[in-house]
Amino acid sequence: QVQLVESGGGLVQAGGSLRLACAASGRTFSSYIMGWFRQAAGKEREFVAAISWSGARTTYADSVKGRFTISRDNAKNTVDLQMNSLKPEDTAVYYCAATTFTAYLPTTPTRYQYWGPGTQVTVSS
């Protein structure tokens, strides 16, 4: 089993930056594809970014491409999400997720097996 815990959320002004971290525990962390999702109040959970087990491949939602960067450090069992040029519409609870799926980088929540409890990100205008 894999346990995930997010940190780094908070309140920032539009145009600012924030870095989220996901700490994982359990075995075989490096073999998991990792993803970030977010869920705004009254909205469905949506894909943000994903990264392959090696870190060589990444994919992003169109809404965050060019502003957000996902990275991982398998030696430390961590996955980060660097968020720049934040907009009010980025306000949401952000979740870290892990999957053993390997064919491609999943962008749907149903493909991910393990989830953290989430961390709130609020962007003011």
Averages of pLDDT over each 10 residues, the chain, 125 residues: 94 98 83 95 98 95 98 92 98 97 96 97 97
Bridging pattern class, strands 119-124 and 10-13:
parallel
* Per-residue pLDDT, 80: 98
Q: CA angle 90-91-95, nearest 5°?
A: 90
Q: Copy the structure tokens of residue 50.
A: 């994903």
Cα 33 from Cα 45, distance rounded (Å): 18
Pair type for strands 68-73 and 10-13 = unpaired
Q: How far is CA 36 from the centre of its chain?
A: 2
pLDDT of residue 31: 82
Tell me the C-alpha distance between 114 and 11, whole Å. 26
